[in-house]
Amino acid sequence: MTPLGYARPRDVADALDRAAAPGAMFIGGGTNLVDLMKLGVETPAALVDVGRLGLDRIEELAGGGLRIGAAVRNSRLAADARVRQRYPVLAEALVNGASGQLRNMATVGGNLLQRTRCAYFQDTSADCNKRVPGSGCSARAGDHRNLAILGGSPACIATHPSDMAVAMVALDAVVNVRTPAGTSRTDVRELHRLPGSTPHIETVLAAGSLIESVDLPAPVEARSTYRKVRDRASFAFAVASVAAIVQLDDRRVRDVRIALGAVAPRPWRASAAEDVIRGESPSTALFESAIAAELADAEPLRGNAYKVPLLRNLVVRVLCELCGVDPPVRSLA
């Protein structure tokens, strides 16, 4: 039988040391990694548990921000009074994810680095360039109903499935990363790479990097919301989601931050849409043209083309509600 190493180190240096061994992987709650191990998709030689590294704290940052340890459980983060008060969009995103049991296990670091839910990635008998570079992509011809319309490539159209990360991208959160070489900081929005021709390289992190924490910048006076569209009322990944934060001045949008989920290989910051809106006076027409700008580069396929009107409707509705503009009355027929 293949032996599997497991360690629960008590200090970060030791953890990094162990993670440097060939085939070693960090494990948080294991809710994604262990499933993938059972499926034969991940085959680590050793697991390094991040649970005893003192990364389970939520700390104040100077200026009113928060530093969230990578091992903080999703349920605890969602329930934290400071998070609920200062970053309600994050709390909303968290409680919209997975189920109560999963959130009790899932960690912040693991949630950020969870793998795509593309069915072919999860099935070792199918072709997947992300799982086996160069093997092909079964999803293009097959089932891609919930895969990417933005940021994909001929090699891969997988989506990043997280809800939490979408809110973090809207909040301009920053990841603190440790490697044996030292610490570094990366914006969450830059954490995941676009697939290009190397979809198996998913993040900008060097092998063996430990996510130590996520910094949330000081909150701003703003209205925000997280809206998730899914195939059933609970316990389902998003087919599209949006985190939006709006700062209104009188009758103008002083600033807006929009992140989209389940439509791209990474939590997608809708900068093109933001640029259209910033400084303008809010209206349905403005929001329609903003999302149109964002979706100009969309590359929908047969099975996921519906995400284009879905995102448009969703983003327009959310922005209208946040800005106090009457949303358009749509009919389906």
Partner 1 sequence: MTSLDSALEVDAERLTDADGTLLRVDGPDKVTGRAVYAAEHHFADQAYAVPVTSTIAKGMIMAIDVADAEVVAGVLTIISADHAPVLPEGDDGELRLFQSHEVAYRGQIVAAVVATSLEAAVEAAGLVRIRYDEAPADVLLRTDHPRLYAPEHVNPDFATDTTVGDVEAQLAQADVVVDATYTTPGEHNNPMEPHATIAVWDAGRLTLYDSVQGSQRARRAVAAALGIDPDDVRVVYQFVGGGFGSKGSSRPQAIVAALAAREVDRPVVCVVSRAQMFTMTGYRTPTIQRVQLGATADGRLTATAHDVWEQTSTIAEFAEQTAVATRHMYAAPGRRTTHRLVALDVPTPAWMRAPGECPGMFALESAMDELATACAIDPVELRIINEPDLDPETGTPFGDRRLVQCLRDGARRFSWAERRGRGPQRDGAWLSGVGVASSVYPARAQTSAARATAYPDGRWLVEIDAADIGTGSRTALLGYAAECLAVSADRVELRIADSALPAAMIAGGSMGAASWTWAIGKACAELQQRLDRSDGSIPALGIAVEVSTKDEVAALPDVSRFSFGAQFVEVRVNTDTGETRVPHMLGVFSAGRILNPVMARSQLIGGMTMGLSMALMEEAILDVELGYVVNHDLAQYHIATHADVPSIEVHVLDGGRSDLGRAGAQGVGEVGIVGAAAAVANAVHHATGIRVRDLPIRLDRLLPC
Ligand X SMILES: Cc1cc2nc3c(=O)[nH]c(=O)nc-3n(C[C@H](O)[C@H](O)[C@H](O)COP(=O)(O)OP(=O)(O)OC[C@H]3O[C@@H](n4cnc5c(N)ncnc54)[C@H](O)[C@@H]3O)c2cc1C
Tally DSSP H helices, then E strands, for the chain: 13, 12
> Is 308 near partner 1 (CB under 8 A)?
yes
Could you say which of ligand X, partner 1, none residue 224 binds, taking C-beta under 5 to 8 angstroms by partner kind? none
Q: Smallest distance from the beta carbon of 292 to ligand X, in angstroms? A: 27
The CA distance from 298 to 186, in Å, is 26
Quick note: the x/- pattern for partner 1 over 38-57, rule CB under 8 A, is --x-----------------
* Residue 24 CB burial class (10 angstroms; 0-12, 13-18, ≥19): buried
By CB under 6 A, is residue 7 in contact with ligand X?
no
- Which residue number, 27 or 318, has a Cβ lying nearer to partner 1? 318
- For 289-305, b where at least 16 C-beta lie within 10 A, e where not — what string? ebbebbbeebebbebbe
Out of ligand X, partner 1, none, what residue 296 binds, judged by CB under 5 to 8 A for its kind, is none
The pair of structure tokens assigned to 225 is: 């919301």
**Two structure tokens written together for 208:** 């063996």
**Residue 245's beta-bridge partner residues?**
224, 257
> Residue 28 binds what, of ligand X, partner 1, none (CB under 5 to 8 Å, by partner type)?
ligand X
Residue from 30, 136, 142, 196 touching ligand X (CB under 6 A): that is 30
Between the alpha carbon of residue 64 and those of residues 44, 60, 67, the distances in Å are 39, 7, 10
Of 226, 208, 139, 212, the C-alpha closest to 174 is 212
The answer to whether 33 contacts ligand X (rule: CB under 6 A) is yes
CB 179 within 8 A of CB 209: yes
- Residue 326 as a binder of partner 1 (CB under 8 A): the answer is no
Element containing residue 90 per DSSP (H, E)? helix 88-95
Q: Which tokens go with 70?
A: 């990578």
Binding mask 227-266 for partner 1 (x = CB under 8 A): --xxxxxxxxx-xx--------------------------
Site for ligand X in 235-294 (CB under 6 A): 237
Which residue spans within the chain are E strands per DSSP?
5-7, 24-27, 46-49, 58-60, 66-69, 174-179, 182-187, 210-216, 223-230, 238-249, 252-261, 268-269
Number of residues in contact with ligand X, rule: CB under 6 A?
Answer: 31
Q: Looking at 16, 18, 24, 28, which residue binds ligand X (CB under 6 A)? A: 28
Amino acid at 148: A
Q: Is 25 in the site for ligand X (CB under 6 A)?
A: yes
Q: Which of 107, 138, 146, 153 binds ligand X (CB under 6 A)?
A: 107
Binding site for partner 1 (CB under 8 A): 1-2, 40, 117, 119-120, 123, 125-126, 138, 141-143, 145, 229-237, 239-240, 305-306, 308-310, 313-314, 316-317, 327, 329-333
Binding site for ligand X (CB under 6 A): 25-33, 35, 50, 70, 74, 97-98, 102, 105-107, 109-111, 113-114, 161-164, 210-211, 237
